[in-house]
């Protein structure tokens, strides 16, 4: 009886915590050493904002983040002015609903065991905006593999890179067409198979113990694709970053489409399942870049609607609701995007 009462008191205390109180709580030393299901249990017992869940692929997801040194703020010369666009913003917004004919917006990528989130998220936003700017007439995807392997100024390939530099690469060099692993009718599909076992999906093979090596830059298209690499390019028009301003970021997404956001990654991100993610700040693993496609409010908590690139059986069918308005884990201070030539 005493045990039941104690558990009820703990549950009541957890549910009554505000975000501010939760973030201000000291982290016990033992919690920094927890792993696996024990860590998942700790997370679920100490907050009620979201549900954590363990899966065998969690460790692989945690590896597939870029090194923290790529978590840099964009050059201030490219930050757009913090202006009021005089737009009435809705309480909730989902780019998939505003631009339903743009299939790239609602497609969850799988970066496999490569720290290519910076290239995958940038290419995804380029693809979305190319479709949006063409009123749905151009459905081509920008190749994340072309960016990953050929953008020398972007970073270190599968060890991480800068998504902002990817947009300048598209302006200066163009990006050939791409798509998922083994996509036949494009120049350069994604280089790596979705490793591990995923729900209702073909099994290609296990995840490697270490990161995949970065693909070599090959200025040619795959066999049986009848367009030359140099003639298959998608070009960027401009690139810019957004100020650390919640409203301005929302205005940009509402008007022009998804954007790339980068943030510091902690151990609890990989085990997110549903709800509004609020990190406990334990065990920083590196940095991660994602695509922000909208926003909303759940149980009184404001969130960004984010498409991750860890397959659609991670998180909430590939998505995460991420605390909004507090620059949580630095996400609102590192938002970049661009427009495409149509």
**Angstrom distance (rounded) from CA 79 to CA 59:** 35
Predicted TM-score (pTM) of this structure: 0.93
Of 150, 187, 221, 308, which is the active-site residue?
308
- The pLDDT assigned to 58 comes to 84
- The pLDDT assigned to 28 comes to 93
- The pLDDT assigned to 83 comes to 63
> Has 77 been annotated as catalytic?
no
Other CB atoms within a 10 A radius of the CB of residue 69 amount to 12
- The pLDDT assigned to 67 comes to 84
**Angstrom distance (rounded) from CA 278 to CA 289:** 17
Of 102, 113, 288, 311, which is the active-site residue?
288
Per-residue pLDDT of the chain (342 residues; tens, 9 = 90+): 444 443 444 444 455 789 999 999 999 999 999 999 999 999 999 999 999 999 888 877 888 888 888 887 777 778 886 666 688 999 999 999 999 999 999 999 999 999 999 999 999 999 999 999 999 999 999 999 999 999 999 999 999 999 999 999 999 999 999 999 999 999 999 999 999 888 888 888 888 888 999 999 999 999 999 999 999 999 999 999 999 999 999 999 999 999 999 999 999 999 999 999 999 999 999 999 999 999 999 999 999 999 999 999 999 999 999 999 999 999 999 999 999 999
- The pLDDT assigned to 17 comes to 86
Q: What would the CATH number be for the domain defined by 28-337?
A: 3.90.70.10
Of 102, 113, 114, 117, which is the active-site residue?
117
C-alpha distance from residue 275 to each of 52, 260, 288, 298, 332 (Å): 9, 21, 19, 8, 19
> Has 154 been annotated as catalytic?
no
> Has 117 been annotated as catalytic?
yes
**Angstrom distance (rounded) from CA 137 to CA 9:** 57
CA atoms within 13 A on the CB side of 46: 21
The gap between the terminal CA atoms of the chain, to the nearest Å, is: 68
Give the domain ranges of the chain: 28-337
**132 by DSSP, 3-state: which?**
helix
């Amino acid at each position: 009886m005493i045990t039941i009462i104690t558990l009820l008191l703990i549950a009541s205390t957890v549910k009554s915590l505000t975000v501010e109180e939760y973030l201000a709580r000291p982290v016990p030393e033992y919690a920094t050493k927890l792993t696996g299901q024990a860590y998942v249990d700790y997370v679920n017992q100490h907050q009620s904002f979201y549900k954590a869940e363990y899966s065998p692929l969690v460790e692989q997801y945690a590896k597939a983040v870029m090194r923290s040194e790529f978590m840099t703020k964009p050059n201030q010369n490219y930050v757009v002015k913090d202006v009021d666009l005089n737009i009435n913003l809705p309480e909730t917004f989902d780019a998939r609903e505003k631009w339903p004919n743009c299939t790239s917006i609602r497609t969850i990528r799988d970066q496999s065991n490569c720290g290519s989130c910076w290239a995958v998220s940038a290419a995804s936003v380029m693809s979305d905006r190319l479709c949006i700017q063409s009123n749905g007439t151009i459905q081509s995807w920008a190749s994340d593999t072309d960016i990953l392997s050929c953008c020398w100024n972007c970073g270190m390939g599968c060890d991480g890179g800068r998504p902002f530099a990817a947009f300048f690469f598209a302006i200066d060099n163009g990006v050939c067409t791409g798509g998922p692993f083994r996509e036949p009718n494009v120049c350069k599909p994604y280089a790596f198979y979705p490793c591990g076992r995923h729900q209702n999906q073909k099994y290609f093979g296990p995840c490697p113990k270490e990161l995949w090596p970065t693909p070599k830059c090959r200025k040619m298209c795959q066999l049986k694709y009848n367009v030359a690499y140099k003639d298959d390019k998608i070009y960027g028009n401009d690139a810019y970053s957004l100020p650390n301003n919640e409203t301005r970021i929302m205005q940009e997404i509402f008007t022009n489409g998804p954007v790339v956001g980068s943030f510091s990654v902690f151990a609890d991100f990989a085990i997110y399942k549903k709800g509004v993610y609020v990190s406990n700040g334990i065990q920083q693993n590196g940095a991660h870049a994602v695509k922000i496609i909208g926003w909303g409010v759940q149980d009184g908590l404001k969130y960004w609607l984010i498409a991750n690139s860890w397959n659609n059986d991670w998180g909430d069918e590939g998505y995460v609701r991420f605390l909004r308005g507090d620059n949580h884990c630095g996400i609102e201070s590192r938002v970049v995007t661009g427009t495409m030539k149509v």
